[in-house]
Structure 1
Amino acid sequence: MSVKEREVLVVARNLGNLDRLSSLDGPLVIFGTIATSIARKVKEGNGTAIIPSQYLKIILDTQDAVNAIFDNFDLYDAKTKSPLIHELLKHSYTRTK
C-alpha cells in the first residue's frame, strides 16, 4: 500500500481546544486550510476523524506545523489503530530488506 492510499485516524488530545483550532482565525490557519479542515472534521467526529495521509504530507512541511499537529492530535493508522509512526517505520523497514 502506498503512503498516498493510507488513511490516518486523527484523535484530539484536548476536546475543548477544537473550537479554537478549527476556527478560521485559529492557530492552525497559518498552515493552510487543510489544517483547520482536519480540526473541523475531528470536532464534528466528537474527537476523532479519518483523513487521507496526503493531507499530512501537505501540512507537515515545516517544523512549526509538525509541532502544532503533534501538540494537538494523536495520529494512528486507520486500519491497524497503531501509532502512525510505528506503521511508517515498519513499512520503511520492510522496504529496505
Structure 2
Amino acid sequence: MAPYRNSVKILGDVLQITEEHGIGGVNLTSLLRKANLSYGRLAAVAGRLIQAGMIQEQVLDGQRIYVITPQGKEYLHRYNQFAEMANSFGLNL
C-alpha cells in the first residue's frame, strides 16, 4: 500500500511533474497518471496552484496543458530544500 500523501506533498508532486515537462508543459492525462490523482482531486489542486500563480493552464488543440511559472519553480526549490532538511532529521514529508 502506498503511503498517505498530505496536500503539501501533492502540491510538490504536481509542481515537480510540471517542471520536468519544461516550457512545453504537461497535458492533463499525463499529469493525472504521473501524480496518481483522481480527476476531481487534480482539478482542486490545479485550481489552487493556478490561483497562487504557480502554474498556468493553457489550451492547445483542445487539450489542457499545465506549465510551471517562475513563482512555482521558486516554491518547488524551497519545498525541496525543506524536504531534504526534514529527511536529514529522519522525518518524511
| TM-score tier after normalising by the smaller chain length | 0.3 to 0.5
Greater relative contact order (Cα 8 A, min sep 6): structure 1 or 2? 1
Taking structure 2 as the reference length, the TM-score comes to 0.35
